[in-house]
């Protein structure tokens, strides 16, 4: 999408794309929650879960059709990007052919901040259903409805990304939205402790979950557009691959540690780790990129 859009429209494009994908996720969450509820009396609980998973797999295969239709347009600029000598030596040492990289330091900063964020998310996000079911004793349809509500709020929230970008700027919008989500992470963790004084724990956790999802991801289209604008188009694919690799490894490690804690009956520590790592990642993002937006604006106007 970055290669087929101009900088002035990129945030809007990523915003609409995120809204559409999130809306689809909302439908998937509803199906995942209610298909077992509808069919478990006739098929049994395990078979109903299998059917729900099968429906998701079928839709995933449908997604390959538009992906197959994508076309890559040839570059108009024949200039070969130059990799700094030190980075070239490092790439050669590891047997890598990364001659397309122009900005290794920027890529490293993106990978570090993104990896820290994924490490924190890994402690809880893949285990939210476990927390709601085992920690709060929610039913399958309640969990599905909660997840679908979060996706619905997120779908609407991402439409606000262009407004936030215009009013605050890219980096401040990203930082403020991520910071605003942290208190709700802690509210979810301590919902059972808060519950006796305000409302049922499941209601508190569900509302906090929806708000966390919306606040954390409202600026996600801005972050995607910003990371693409920072980099030369020849290195975007490599940078995205490195970010996905780092985030995947960190998320898997976080999930493993979070599952150990929850299996031991500790539902507070994973959320505490998640909140702390979110703060660290957001702080690093601000330190790394607070001046980059002005540099991009000057370069674009020049």
Compute the distance between CA of residue 180 and CA of residue 216 in angstroms, rounded to an integer: 7
Show the domains of the chain with their CATH numbers: 102-301 (1.20.1250.20)
The pLDDT of residue 30 is 67
Residue 119: which residues within 8 A CB-CB, separation 6 or more? Answer: 250, 251, 253, 254, 277
- Alpha-helical segments (H) within 44-103: 45-68, 85-93
pLDDT for position 17: 64
């106007």: which residue's tokens? 301
Name the residue with tokens 């079911």: 133
Tally DSSP H helices, then E strands, for the chain: 14, 0
Instruction: Please answer whether residues 33 and 141 qualify as being in contact, where contact means their C-beta atoms are separated by less than 8 angstroms.
Output: yes
Q: Could you count the other beta carbons within 10 Å of the beta carbon of residue 249? A: 14
What pLDDT is attached to residue 74? 57
The reported pLDDT for the residue numbered 266 is 92
Cβ atoms of 31 and 141 closer than 8 Å:
no
Give residue 78's pLDDT. 42
* Residue 27, C-beta contacts closer than 8 angstroms, at least 6 positions apart: 148
pLDDT in tens, the chain (302 residues): 555 555 555 555 656 665 666 667 667 766 766 666 777 777 777 777 777 778 778 877 887 887 677 666 555 544 444 444 444 454 444 444 455 677 788 899 999 999 999 999 999 999 998 999 888 888 877 887 888 788 778 777 777 878 888 888 889 999 999 999 999 999 999 988 886 767 788 889 999 999 998 899 888 888 888 888 888 877 878 888 899 999 999 999 999 999 999 999 999 999 999 999 999 999 999 999 988 877 776 665 55
Q: What is the pLDDT of residue 95?
A: 44
Q: How far apart are CA 176 and CA 301, in angstroms?
A: 27
pLDDT of residue 81: 45
């Amino acid at each position: 999408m970055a290669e087929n859009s101009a900088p002035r429209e990129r945030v809007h494009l990523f915003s609409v794309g995120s809204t559409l994908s999130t809306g689809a996720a909302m439908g998937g969450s509803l199906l995942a929650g209610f298909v077992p509820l509808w069919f478990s009396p006739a098929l049994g609980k395990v078979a109903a879960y299998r059917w729900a998973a099968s429906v998701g797999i079928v839709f995933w295969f449908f997604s390959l059709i538009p992906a197959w239709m994508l076309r890559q347009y040839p570059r108009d600029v024949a200039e070969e990007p130059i990799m700094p000598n030190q980075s070239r030596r490092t790439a050669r040492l590891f047997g890598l052919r990364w001659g397309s990289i122009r900005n290794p330091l920027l890529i490293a900063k993106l990978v570090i901040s993104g990896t820290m964020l994924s490490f924190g998310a890994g402690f809880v996000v893949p285990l939210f259903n476990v927390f709601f079911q085992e920690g709060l004793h929610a039913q399958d349809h309640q969990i599905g409805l909660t997840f679908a509500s979060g996706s619905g709020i997120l779908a609407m929230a991402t439409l606000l990304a262009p407004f936030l970008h215009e009013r605050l700027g890219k980096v401040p919008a990203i930082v403020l939205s991520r910071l605003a989500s942290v208190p709700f992470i802690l509210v979810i963790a301590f919902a059972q402790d808060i519950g006796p004084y305000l409302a049922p724990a499941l209601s508190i956790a569900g509302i906090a979950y929806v708000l966390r999802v919306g606040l954390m991801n409202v600026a996600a289209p801005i972050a995607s557009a910003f990371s693409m604008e920072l980099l030369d188009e020849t290195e975007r694919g490599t940078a995205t691959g490195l970010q996905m690799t780092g985030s995947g490894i960190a998320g898997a490690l976080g999930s493993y540690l979070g599952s150990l804690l929850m299996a031991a009956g500790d539902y507070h520590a994973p959320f505490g780790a998640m909140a702390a790592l979110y703060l660290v990642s957001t702080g690093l993002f601000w330190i790394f990129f607070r001046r980059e937006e002005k540099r991009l604006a000057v370069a674009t106007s020049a």
